[in-house]
Amino acid sequence: MDEMVRSDASAQRAGEGELSFSDVVAFFRRNSVVVFGAALAAAVITAIVVFVFLPRKYEASATLAIVPPRFSSDLKPGTLTVQGYQTLLESAAVIAEAKRRLVQQGLMKPGDDLELGKTLETRIFVARRAEEINLAPMLQIAAHGDTAAQAAAIANTWAQVFLERAKELMAGSTSATVQFIENQFPAARERLIALENARLATANSYQKRSDDATTTWNEKLIAYNNQTSDLTAAYRAETRRLLEDFKSQHNLETRRVQLRSLRTAYADLQDEQARVSAQLQQKQLQADALRLQIKQTPQFLTLEKAITDDALWQAEASGKGGDKGGDGLEGKHLRSQEVNPVYTTIASNLSQTETDLNALAPRAQQLEERLKEMRSELSTADVDLGGDEASLEKLQQERDAGLSKLEATRADGLDTITRQRQAELDGIKREWDARLAESDRDIAQQKDLYADLAKKDSQAMLAKAQQDVEDVRLGAPAVPPDRPERRGGVTKTLLALVLGGVLGIGIAVVREA
């Protein structure tokens, strides 16, 4: 009756879509036998299988250290990443070769499995002691075997096959490249030496051609300049001779001296005439001034003197009457007449000046007449000498024009020779530059090739020296373990217990449904 009530209540709550903790507890009470029975059965069966039927296995591990050299060659292939080495280690070819060697050694049978993830395992370790220090990465390979010796042999053989394949991979392409560079480097050096020697020989040959051409043309120029100097000197000597002959025939130097003397005498006479004329003019002006002064100056002077004698005053006063006494004597003077001394001086000076004028006038007339005569003589001599000098100057100009024409003709010839010389030297220079430019291009290309090969030769020597230096090494070989692996019986039993309980719950739910 109670069960029916609980069933009706559960049905009612299920219909309402609600599940309470009491419902869960009631569910486990009703199905405890099924749930716990299934969990216990699974745990027991698992424990029996693990501890009775599961064979014991041994695990051995070897450690591979990836340590690339500090100095590496460019010709040597780069060190693989840790993942790359792991891929090579896990490759089918390496595992198959390891199995073949193990079968040959009698450590495995041909039918035995050597499977990755089951018999073989790999692990990567990258250690870092500080942020700025990275230690070498390592690969750990683990092998599982029926015996401890078999597990260690499998791990060591697998590591040995891997190391051989890694070495072949690194050294395969390096040796061929090194051999190619060793063959090409000496040939490139010899080729460069030959090109440089050929360039030097070409430069020497063109230098010799240029020097020979320069010497030849310089000799021509020297001969031409010497001939020009001889012709010019001969022409100038002839000019001097003609001029001297002309001068001697016309007696030019004597006439020039005479003309200079005549001009000197004429100048002296002019100076004297100018002096006499100036004196005459000055005396004339003085005479005119003295005549004017003598006209304006009286010859005699009338002197009036006031009466100072008392007796004269009294006599004069008594004769005129007493009433007018003092008034009548006013305006009375004593008069006397004398020769004017200024007039006498002026007359004397005028007489002397007229005497000088009478003496200078004839001299001035004589000088004027002599100047006219000398002027005529000077003009005649100057005209005659000027004509001869004009003829001499004309001759000098003609000779100078001839000399200029000769020099211009020789200069044109010199310019022609100079242009021909420069044209030939420029042609040699252009050909020289073209050949040297071609040689320089070949040498530059060969130098680039040689420099590249020299650099690669150093890399090849370094790579050749590093052929025995391995990037990955066997850090610790595998040794037979002392104890077998743990089979994990307790863990597996607990896991089976949990899974059995889940299975029991499932069965109970199905039954309840």
CA 44 distance to own-chain centroid: 92
pLDDT at res. 493: 72
Predicted confidence (pLDDT) at residue 42 exceeds the cutoff of 80? no
Express as a percent the part of the chain with pLDDT over 70.
Answer: 74
pLDDT at res. 14: 46
What would you report as the CA-atom Rg of the chain, rounded to the nearest whole angstrom? Answer: 76
Q: How many CA atoms lie within 13 A of 376 on its CB side?
A: 5
Model confidence band, residue 7 (pLDDT cutoffs 50, 70, 90) = very low
Q: What whole-number distance in Å separates Cα of residue 500 and Cα of residue 510?
A: 15
pLDDT at res. 387: 78
Predicted confidence (pLDDT) at residue 426 exceeds the cutoff of 90? yes
pLDDT at res. 54: 54
Q: Name the DSSP class of 298.
A: -
Check the CA dihedral 501-507-509-511 and report its sign: negative
Model confidence band, residue 5 (pLDDT cutoffs 50, 70, 90) = very low
Model confidence band, residue 422 (pLDDT cutoffs 50, 70, 90) = very high
Lowest-pLDDT choice from 336-340, 437-441, 460-464, 482-486: 460-464
- Asked if residues 402 and 236 have their Cβ atoms less than 8 Å apart, the reply is no
> Who's near 135: CB < 8 A, 6+ residues apart?
126, 127, 128, 129
Q: Name the DSSP class of 203.
A: H
Lowest-pLDDT choice from 6-10, 140-144, 380-384: 6-10
> Who's near 245: CB < 8 A, 6+ residues apart?
none
Tally the residues of the chain: 513
- Asked if residues 246 and 391 have their Cβ atoms less than 8 Å apart, the reply is yes
pLDDT at res. 152: 81
For the segment 85-116, what is each residue's pLDDT rounded down to a tens digit? 778 777 888 888 888 888 888 777 777 777 77
- Which of 40-49, 172-181, 443-452 is the most confident on average? 443-452
Q: Name the DSSP class of 77.
A: P
Q: What whole-number distance in Å separates Cα of residue 178 and Cα of residue 175?
A: 5
- Which of 181-190, 261-270, 388-397, 422-431 is the most confident on average? 422-431
Task: Give the tokens for residue 90.
Answer: 């896990």
Give the mean pLDDT of 48-63.
68
Predicted confidence (pLDDT) at residue 402 exceeds the cutoff of 80? yes
Q: What whole-number distance in Å separates Cα of residue 415 and Cα of residue 403?
A: 18
pLDDT at res. 298: 77
Q: What whole-number distance in Å separates Cα of residue 186 and Cα of residue 231?
A: 67
- Asked if residues 456 and 181 have their Cβ atoms less than 8 Å apart, the reply is yes
Q: What whole-number distance in Å separates Cα of residue 4 and Cα of residue 327?
A: 210
pLDDT at res. 214: 93
- Asked if residues 465 and 204 have their Cβ atoms less than 8 Å apart, the reply is no
Task: Give the tokens for residue 4.
Answer: 């029916």
Give the mean pLDDT of 446-461.
73
pLDDT at res. 4: 41
pLDDT at res. 162: 81
pLDDT at res. 99: 80
Task: Give the tokens for residue 394.
Answer: 């004309």
Whole-number Cα distances in Å, 385 to 204, 246, 372, 391? 70, 13, 20, 10
> Who's near 90: CB < 8 A, 6+ residues apart?
116, 120, 122
* 335 vs 298, more confident: 298
- Which of 136-145, 161-170, 233-242, 313-322 is the most confident on average? 233-242
